[in-house]
Amino acid sequence: MSSDAPKASDRSEKVTFEIDTNPTDDSRGAQNVRAVPRDQPVPPYDNIQDDDLKEDEAATVRNRTLLTSDEEKTLFKRVDIRLLPLLAIMYVVKTMDAANVSNARIMDRGTKHNIMIELGMSANDYNLVTVAYYIPYIVAEAPSNLLLKYFSPSVWQARVMVSWGIVLVCHAAVTNAGGLYTVRALLGLFEAGLWPGILLQLCYWYRPDEIAKRIVLVTVLGNFSAVSGLLAFGFNGVNTAGLSSWKWLILTEGIFTIALGVVVYFYLPDFPGTAKWLSDKEKTFLEARLPSASPRSEESDFDWQEFKNTLKDYRLWLFVFVWAFYTIGTTGLTFYQPTVIADLGFTTVGQAQLLTIPPAVFSCMLVLFFGWVVQTARIPTPSVPMFFMIAIEACYAVEYTYPNIGGVYAATTLAGGFSTAWYNLMWPWRVQTISGATGSAFAIAFANSYGQIGGAVGAQLFNSKYAPKYTTSFAIAMGFVGLAIITASITWYFTGRVDIETRKIRRARIAAAKENKAVLDDVEVKDVRSNRV
């Protein structure tokens, strides 16, 4: 093999270009993946004498070998630092703001400053708060994600955060149930799009076989939304300046959200190709290393054919049903957890707020451990969320069979932890099978939004009439989680090949990087841009 690219004077001469079809001794199937040395100059395709390289792959090889393995590691440390911390803070604020009404329900319980007493609401009236939030959230999420590329992530996500922050501030003016329904509906409308927008933006920067780690790093802080319980504990009894404690809680969160939205506008990176802190070589490298199915900033902002092909993709609907069944079976417990714990008679209301923290800590531990397991690529990606659903079923079954106060709290701690962690480890599975800018934006948002139907329905399961043991609630929830397990099993059957190939490519990339090589092959998924498998 010639160590130098051919000169202009001898372009008619053919050179042998080294392509390693055995980059690793891994016996699990990675030996068919092609890898090329990063320090090998890539000649024009017409000068290459190698049947293993196709004409349209020459540019890919050239751009994927622009940086050495060490330079790539250094680059991604910079990318991670610039992108992930801010996305993580955005996510934790989103989870806190969406859940604040749950903690508000038991603040100043039994006094005129309690939100239900102050607004003249019954338990059934309060149940409709979640319905008011989720209906506009479901409708607006997909359009929001489709607009993210047109306006750019920094502009659109800043708009999202400032808008819902203003709505949170408006909670201070609420004086009746109708007012609360209105601000919660507006919150759902304006908050829609933040989380799928975060996922979509990660797809522009990272490969599907490396995105699990980033999702875990972003979402693990979301489990610290239990700090909302600490805030509620701190604000409990703070009734001053004409505002009840629950209004001070939500008002404070709203002001912080608006401030964070301004920070997002100025500091959130958009796409690799537009990042001013990257060199031209780094920009080219980052975009070239993405699979052909990944979304790219140079694609059109909206492709109608791609949109229609995405709707025809059966995997879209399978994931939607998994999400819907699962959220019906778990969201109710998550939303009403502070109330369920308070109904158990555990200590004071303030301490009941603090008892919502252990499930969040447990969830954080699950995400960190199983996120690491998934990232090693040694077990099927779908196996982790499947295990979580089975564990939730076991918790529900034990509680239904042996109801007692300690058992209910144990069930809420374990099941609550598993149910929250499930979302964080389900998304790496979902993003393996998306393609295109329009297709990716719609597929992510559609699964997340219409899966939230369970948020409106599931919240009704843990009605106070079933207190304090909630056996009926757990029985119904068991049924829906069971349906989610069945649907997820079917989905696994139809997406198993892509997951196997994704993990194979990741193992090959790790092995090749140790020898300063770049992997040429990518996983072939159904590309909605051409409707080709």
- Boundaries of domain holding 347: 69-279+288-519
* Sign for the pseudo-dihedral over CA of 332, 335, 340, 341: positive
At residue 21, the pLDDT reads 56
Measured CA to CA, the distance from residue 288 to residue 431 in angstroms comes to 19
Model-level pTM greater than 0.75? yes
pLDDT digits (tens, 9 = 90+) for 216-244: 888 886 666 666 767 777 788 888 888 99
SS (H, E, C) 66-93: CCCHHHHHHHHHHHHHHHHHHHHHHHHH
447 in a domain, yes or no? Answer: yes
58 in a domain, yes or no? Answer: no
- pLDDT over threshold 60, residue 296: yes
Of 171, 164, 167, the C-alpha closest to 194 is 164
- As beta bridge partners, residue 260 has none
Residue type, 170: C
CA atoms within 13 A on the CB side of 267: 15
Of 301, 339, 307, 366, the C-alpha closest to 465 is 339
Burial (0-12, 13-18, 19+ Cβ within 10 Å), 69:
middle
528 in a domain, yes or no? Answer: no
42 in a domain, yes or no? Answer: no
- pLDDT band, very low/low/confident/very high, at 50 (cuts 50, 70, 90): low
At residue 19, the pLDDT reads 57
* H runs (alpha helix) in 289-313: 304-312
Q: Can you tell me the mean pLDDT for 404-413?
A: 71
3 in a domain, yes or no? Answer: no
246 in a domain, yes or no? Answer: yes
208 in a domain, yes or no? Answer: yes
pLDDT digits (tens, 9 = 90+) for 6-38: 443 343 444 444 555 554 544 444 446 778 888
Contact 389, 326 (CB under 8 A): yes
At residue 7, the pLDDT reads 43
CATH number at residue 314: 1.20.1250.20
At residue 17, the pLDDT reads 47
Q: Can you tell me the mean pLDDT for 391-419?
A: 77
21 in a domain, yes or no? Answer: no
Measured CA to CA, the distance from residue 230 to residue 352 in angstroms comes to 11
At residue 28, the pLDDT reads 46
- pLDDT over threshold 90, residue 162: yes
Residue that wins the pLDDT comparison between 145 and 356: 145
Measured CA to CA, the distance from residue 359 to residue 420 in angstroms comes to 9
User: How many domains does the chain contain in total?
Assistant: 1
